[in-house]
Amino acid sequence: MAEIARLDRRNLLAGGLALFAAGGGISCKAQSLDTERSASTAAAKLIASARQQIGVTLDYDPSYSALAYPGGDIARSKGVCTDVIVRAYRDALEFDLQQLVHRDMKANFTAYPANWGLRRPDRNIDHRRVPNLRRFWKRAGARLAIPAIPDGWQPGDIFTSRVGGTLPHMGIVSDRVAADGKPFVIHNIGGGAREEAVLFEYPLTGRYRWRV
């Protein structure tokens, strides 16, 4: 487990230092929140729950931690990109991705990525890894085609991308749209949860719509 923590921390530093060397992260000050799109009731709840994490989750921390089960979490003042998703689904829709992913991995372990050399599921960390959530949603039939235009993204969609070409990342598409038509997203790419119009800043690898 120590090796997992070191790998995760190294990934954080590789992505985080490049993104925040200037101390300000990705700036969207030139964008304006002048448009909101309608969302389904479930999607609106999911987005509102993710938005409530802004100003609460202030740090990006990929350290391995032992968690309670089910419903386990680290302190809400910190987390990674997947924690934004996990917390939003728990708070808004009462879906516990820790438990759901663990159950599916326990029954179908070989169907999940073998990126970490594990021989069995680990309910402390599996649901906090982007590749595992991608596989879970694919198995649940939630994967959709990546839209060719910004308007194709819907509030409540989950996007995945690769930061710096290697670091897996994910977030929730917001119901807010910038003046140039690009949707805002709620995510933690470093420095805590935030909402900004950066969906197309990095190569997109997936789109998922689950329970919304």
pLDDT tens-digit series, residues 83-132: 999 999 999 999 999 999 999 999 999 999 999 999 999 999 999 999 99
Q: What is the pTM of this model?
A: 0.84
Which amino acid, residue 106?
K
Give strand pairing partners of 78: 59
Structure tokens at 128: 């906090």
The CATH number of residue 54's host domain is 3.90.1720.10
Q: Is residue 27 part of a domain?
A: no
- Contact present, 190 and 25 (Cβ < 8 Å): yes
Element (H, E) at 81: helix 81-88
Cα separations (Å) of 155 from 21, 43, 63, 147, 184? Answer: 31, 6, 30, 13, 9
% of the chain at pLDDT higher than 90: 83
Residue 28 lies in a domain: no
Neighbours of 68 (CB within 10 A): 10
25 located within any domain: no
How many domains does the chain divide into?
A: 1
In terms of residue numbers, what domain contains 163? Answer: 2-20+34-208
- Is 194 within a domain? yes
Q: Which two tokens stand for residue 192?
A: 């805590």
Identify whether 86 is part of a domain: yes
